[in-house]
Every structure is written in structure tokens, then in C-alpha cells.
Structure 1
Amino acid sequence: MTAWRTLGHRGDALELLLETTHEFYKRQGLGLVDKIHTPIKVTEIDKGIITKAFFDKKSTVDFMGLIQGIGVAFDAKETQNKSIPLKNIHDHQIEFMKAFEEQKGLAFLIVHYKKVDSFYLIPIHIILDIITNGKKSISYTVLPEEFKIQYKNNGLLDYLPTLNTYLDWKRDQQKRKCTG
């Protein structure tokens, strides 16, 4: 088994696709989103090469930044199946995304369901609803169609239209709370 096929690298293709998309967004002045690397502590270096290191602390999410003035924090996940197990979303990631949303940011997953070759933006509120309902995974079939991301032939995963749908939904929810 090659290194890129190990569990620790299973989302690399999606992350590379998103990094390419983010570079395009940056050039177009649409947003500034960066990959967040897991902090490591280097314990041994030999001739300028790191030979020993360990993870210093748990990571939060894969990407964070600003898109048109709105804070975003999200994780990229891939699954070979038609559903993604909730165990693939760590508790500390869920807690971080909840706290990020409490600070008026947008927190979500971008999931590539490889079996059906579909990409979805899954807002944290949907993840929390699924957890509350006792489910063990998130099937693409339960996700609203408006959260499906259209892959562009230009090699970009342009999720901004889907993100705008999510933002509109959040604003509608806030209006309902104020008038309800």
C-alpha cells in the first residue's frame, strides 16, 4: 500500500482540489481560505531533515478563512460509500465548529461521496441534528439538494453558491427567531 492510500491521506485529493479552488478565489478577490495543518512537535533533526516528530495537539478543521467578509471553518472528508460514518468526525472538531458558529461564522463539512461522485456542503446544524437523532452516519440521500456542490470542468470545486444558500438559510432562521 502506497503512502498516499493510507487512512491519514485518504482526503488528500479533495484537499488538493479545495486548495486549487481557494487559490482561484484569492486571485479573484472572493476570499482568503487557508489549509490548517496539524501542529507537530519536532523531537529530532538529522542533517536538516526531521527524523522524529509527534502531533503536538489535536487539529481543529482542515480549512479556515474569510469569504467576502464572513468567517468560514470547515473540514474536508471523503468516503468510498454513499454515507460517511459520524465516527470520522471527531468530537473536538464538532465542538470547534459549534463554537465557531456561535461566533457568527459558518462551520461545515465538504464531503465527497465517491460512490456517487457527488460533493456536499454539510452545515454543522445538520450534523448535530443527525447526531441528536441517534444516527451513525450521514447518507447523501438525506441531504437537501441545495447543499450539493457542482464540480466545474475547469478543475474547481466552486462551493460559493452552496455557501450562499447556507448563509440565506441561517439568515432566515435568525429572522424567524426574532419574529417568533
Structure 2
Amino acid sequence: MQNQIKQWLAEHAGEAAEFLSRLIQAASTAGRERQAQELMAARFNQMGMEIDIWEQQGNDLISHPCFCSPRTDFKDSPNVVGVLKGTGGGRSLIVNGHIDVVPPGEPGQWADSPWSGTIKDGRIYGRGATDMKGGTVSAILAVEALVVQRASTQSGVVWSTLAAG
């Protein structure tokens, strides 16, 4: 099974790079996460997940003592959760990450647009390539490999991407 998973990952690395490039092109600074989250929801749907999408709202959240965001309005900043149910009897894998990225700073500091998602010489360039969109796509690929190879039918997967800003 391990060799089959490694082979599957190698065969799908290019597809993952293309998805990461599209995700980078969806500029997702705080308050602008909708397009990136729509890409995530579509990918979860392709994986056969049940999807829940919502925007944070309400005074209960904002007035909570642990609330620490400088934002009080989360319009166009949906959270996305995908659930892939197992048959039961196994432990679920929970994957969590954020889809927002920090602003790109001075455009002149970039060789290409920070939202280009340029793939060159085996590398991907753009805001979010490493934090955290690259890690998100790597985890997607790993979960897809497990699902395709039917590594576990008992365990489920719960995946959330948050508009953390």
C-alpha cells in the first residue's frame, strides 16, 4: 500500500501544483477570502465530502473573552468545512488551516505579481505559496491519496479552512 500511495502522489504532483497556483491567484487577504474558499469547497466536493460554508457573525463571538481579531465584520470571509464519513469504528482525521494571507507589501519587491502563482523551474511563486496555501494543498493531496487507495474505510475526515483574519 505504501508504494501505491507514493506512486499516486508522484502521478498527481503536477495537478496539485496547478491547484496551488489557482489558489494563490485567488488573492485572499483579510476580508477577501471568498474566491479561495470557493476553490476549496469545489475541491472538497470533488473529493465526495459533505460541505458546510458559513460566515462568522454575531455579538456572541465578538464579545467572547477569547475573541482576538481586529475585525468585527466577516462578510466575504466564509469558513468551509468538508466531511468525508467513514463506515464507523475508526478514528477520524481532522485537518485544519487558514486560507487568508498577509498583504503582499510593496509590489516593486516582487519579480512577478504576488498573485501570479507562477510555476517556474519546479517552484511556485506567490503570496501564500508556503503560508498556508502550499501546506493546505499538500494535505489535500495526502488525503486524496488515502481515499483513492482506500487506506481506511472506517475512519472519516473532517477538514476546515478558516478565514482567520
**TM score, norm. by length of structure 2:** 0.32
**TM score, norm. by length of structure 1:** 0.30
Structure (1/2) with the larger strand percentage: 1
Which structure is higher in RCO with an 8 Å CA cutoff and minimum separation 6?
Answer: 2
